C-alpha cells in the first residue's frame, strides 16, 4: 500500500513537471472508491497551479478548485509525454499541455475527488480528521506526548489511526516503535516523555529517510518517473518474523493488532 513517503515521492516527481499545465481532456475509467464529484469536462481548460500533499492525499491546485488524489491500496500516478496505450487498470487520465497524468489502480481503492476548496464539505470529509504532518514544524514532542496521553489504546493503534500524526502506516509503525524501544502493545497514555522524545525522532528519521530513498512499501511501487524505491530492504523488524533482531539477535516476534501484522523484539522493546 502506498504510504506517506511514496505519496511524497510521487508528489516530488510530478510537481515540477505538471505545474502550469492546462487540462485538455479527462478520461474516467471504472468507478474508483469515491466519485469525482464534478463532470469530467468541467476540468477542461483549468490550469494546475501546484501539487501539495496532506497525509496520503495529493492536492492538485487548479485555478478554480482542487483535485484530491488518493492512491488507495495499489494506485500509482504517472506523468509523461508519450505514455503507452491506456490499459484495463488505468481509471483516470488527464491530458495536459505538459503531458499525460494517469492513475493506474488495479484494486480501485484509490480516488480522484474534486472540491471547490479545502474548506468545502467534500474536502473536509477526507482531510478534516488528519493529524499533524510528521515532517513539518507542527509536529512537536509536546504535541505527540499530549496526543498519546489522551488514549488508552495500544500505541501502535494510536499511531496507525493517523489522528495524532499522519503517515505512520503499518510498516513504519513497527519500525519507529522498534527504534524508540517501545513495545507496540503498550497503553499509549503510559508512555513517558523520554520515550516519546525518542519516538518523535524515530518517526521523523524513518519517514524522511524513506522519502529520500524514494520509499517503497509496495513491491511494484514506482514513482511517477519510473524509478523504484527500496525502503523495504532495510527494515529492522517489519517482515522479519523469527529472524534475528539486528540489535540483539533475539528472534523477531509477529503478532496481530487490529487485523494488521506487528513486528517487534521482546528484548529491545520491553515495555
Ligand atoms: Zn532486539
User: Which residues have beta carbons under 5 A from ligand 1 (an ion)?
Assistant: 245, 247-248, 250, 265, 267-268
Where do runs of H (alpha helix) occur along the chain? Answer: 4-18, 121-127, 141-149, 155-161, 170-180, 193-212
User: What pLDDT does 220 receive?
Assistant: 43
Q: How close is the Cα of 128 to the center of ligand 1, in Å? A: 38
Active site residue 260: yes
Report the relative pairing of strands 99-104 and 76-80 from DSSP bridges. Answer: antiparallel
The phi and psi torsions of 219 (rounded to 5 degrees) equal: -55, -40
Is it the case that residue 271 has pLDDT exceeding 50? yes
User: What pLDDT does 230 receive?
Assistant: 44
Is it the case that residue 229 has pLDDT exceeding 50? no
Is it the case that residue 258 has pLDDT exceeding 50? yes
**Pairwise CA distance, residues 204 & 179, whole Å:** 11
* Residue ranges per structural domain of the chain: 4-127, 141-265
Q: What's the CATH fold of domain 4-127?
A: N-terminal domain of MutM-like DNA repair proteins (3.20.190)
The DSSP 8-state label assigned to residue 260 in this structure reads E
Q: How close is the Cα of 268 to the center of ligand 1, in Å? A: 4
User: What pLDDT does 233 receive?
Assistant: 54
Active site residue 2: yes
**Pairwise CA distance, residues 264 & 255, whole Å:** 8
Active site residue 125: no
pTM (two decimals): 0.86
pLDDT category of residue 99 using cuts at 50, 70 and 90:
very high
Percent of the chain with pLDDT over 70: 93
Is it the case that residue 129 has pLDDT exceeding 60? yes
CATH number for domain 141-265, candidates 3.40.50.1110, 3.90.1580.10, 1.10.760.10, 1.10.8.50: 1.10.8.50
Active site residue 3: yes
pLDDT category of residue 240 using cuts at 50, 70 and 90:
very high
Average pLDDT, integer, range 176-190? 98
Average pLDDT, integer, range 188-214? 94
Amino acid at each position: 500500500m502506498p504510504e506517506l513517503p511514496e505519496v511524497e515521492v510521487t508528489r516530488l516527481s510530478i510537481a515540477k513537471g505538471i505545474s502550469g499545465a492546462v487540462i485538455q481532456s479527462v478520461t474516467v475509467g471504472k468507478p474508483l472508491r469515491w466519485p469525482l464529484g464534478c463532470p469530467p469536462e468541467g476540468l477542461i481548460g483549468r490550469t494546475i497551479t501546484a501539487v501539495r500533499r496532506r497525509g496520503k492525499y495529493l492536492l492538485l491546485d487548479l485555478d478554480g478548485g482542487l483535485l484530491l488524489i488518493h492512491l488507495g491500496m495499489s494506485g500509482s500516478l504517472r506523468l509523461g509525454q508519450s505514455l503507452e496505450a491506456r490499459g484495463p487498470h488505468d481509471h483516470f487520465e488527464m491530458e495536459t499541455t505538459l503531458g499525460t497524468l494517469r492513475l493506474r489502480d488495479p484494486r480501485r481503492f484509490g480516488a480522484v475527488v474534486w472540491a471547490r476548496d479545502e474548506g468545502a464539505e467534500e474536502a473536509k470529509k477526507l482531510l478534516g480528521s488528519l493529524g499533524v504532518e510528521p515532517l513539518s514544524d507542527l509536529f512537536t514532542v509536546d504535541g505527540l506526548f499530549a496526543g498519546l496521553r489522551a488514549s488508552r489504546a495500544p500505541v501502535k493503534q494510536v499511531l496507525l489511526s493517523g489522528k495524532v500524526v499522519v503517515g505512520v502506516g503499518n510498516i513504519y509503525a513497527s519500525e519507529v516503535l522498534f527504534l524508540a524501544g517501545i513495545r507496540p502493545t503498550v497503553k499509549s497514555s503510559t508512555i513517558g516523555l523520554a520515550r516519546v522524545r525518542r519516538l518523535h525522532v524515530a518517526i521523523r528519521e524513518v519517514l524522511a529517510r524513506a522519502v529520500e530513498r524514494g520509499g517503497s512499501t509496495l513491491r511494484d511501487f514506482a514513482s511517477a518517473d519510473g524509478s523504484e524505491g527500496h525502503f523495504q530492504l532495510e527494515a529492522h523488524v517489519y517482515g522479519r518474523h523469527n529472524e534475528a533482531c539486528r540489535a540483539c539477535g533475539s528472534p523477531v516476534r509477529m503478532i496481530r493488532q487490529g487485523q494488521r501484522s506487528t513486528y517487534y523484539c521482546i528484548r529491545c522493546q520491553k515495555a
